[in-house]
Amino acid sequence: MNTYNIIIADDHKMFLDGLISILGNNKAYTIVLTADRGHKVAKYLDINNATEPIDLVITDVSMPDYSGIELNKHIKDNHPKTKTLVVSMLHDTTTVQTLTQDNVDGYVPKNAEKEELLTAIETILNGDKYFSQSIKEVYLKGMFSKEEKLEDTLSKREKEVLKLIAQEFTTQEIADQLFLSKHTIESYRKNLISKLEVRNLAGLTKYAIKLGLLEDE
């Protein structure tokens, strides 16, 4: 049977004790360290992880001095083989998106059932990611909100250019339709690629469809 070394970081003793109780009944898990500060975990990993590898760090987000967000980033930057699971009552859009961008391996709320927590741990240790349904919903809501904000930043002219690009008009044809120079249209195209964070014309076309610019066609 595989055994896994685990660290738990949480400044709420009651939750920490509960997690220790849950995991302590499973012989596959060895709790190597518990800490109430993220920097204690980071320091431990920097000193010991090469000789005594830690398989999983379970961490809260809100901790004094050094947050779970900072701890996750430190682990991913310096100890990429160590998995991370965030268990927290804090799951606003910004927190979820930041942790996801920083490659966190899992995220469940603190009010999750014991069975879901164990499923999350097992899933992550088996090499997959695990996010509770409520966390997924927060993430998707944030993505849609970001798209709406991006749409609001586009000028009427930028939307016109984006629509014509999606309709496969050439740069010269767009320039002729809008009575602008070819150089100006090329500038719009470059700015749109940068603003919408896409890589090419195909990306612009997908965004135009997403924003509904072709729906009246």
Choose one of 120, 142, 164: the last residue of a domain. 142
Question: How many whole angstroms separate alpha carbon 207 and alpha carbon 194?
Answer: 13
Quote the pLDDT of residue 51. Answer: 92
Quote the pLDDT of residue 85. Answer: 97
Quote the pLDDT of residue 1. Answer: 67
Domain residues for the domain of 115 are: 4-142
Cα separations (Å) of 1 from 26, 27, 32, 119, 120?
11, 9, 18, 17, 19
Token output for 215: 């729906």
Are residue 25 and residue 101 in the same domain, yes or no?
yes
Are residue 89 and residue 169 in the same domain, yes or no?
no
In the chain (217 residues long), the average pLDDT of successive 10-residue segments reads: 91 90 89 93 95 95 88 96 92 81 92 92 95 82 60 81 91 91 89 80 83 70
Quote the pLDDT of residue 191. Answer: 83
Are residue 39 and residue 59 in the same domain, yes or no?
yes
Residue-wise pLDDT for 99-133, tens only, equals 888 999 999 998 889 999 999 999 999 999 999 98
Choose one of 121, 142, 163: the last residue of a domain. 142
Quote the pLDDT of residue 144. Answer: 55
Does residue 147 fall inside a structural domain? no
Number of structural domains in the chain: 2
Reduced to 3 states (helix: H, G, I; strand: E, B; else coil), residue 181 is coil
Tell me the β-bridge partners of 29.
4
State the CATH number of the domain containing residue 59: 3.40.50.2300
Quote the pLDDT of residue 142. Answer: 60
Quote the pLDDT of residue 131. Answer: 92
Reduced to 3 states (helix: H, G, I; strand: E, B; else coil), residue 86 is strand
Are residue 91 and residue 163 in the same domain, yes or no?
no
State the CATH number of the domain containing residue 183: 1.10.10.10
Does residue 217 fall inside a structural domain? no
Are residue 20 and residue 111 in the same domain, yes or no?
yes
Asked whether 42 and 67 are in contact (CB, 8 A), the reply is no
Quote the pLDDT of residue 152. Answer: 67
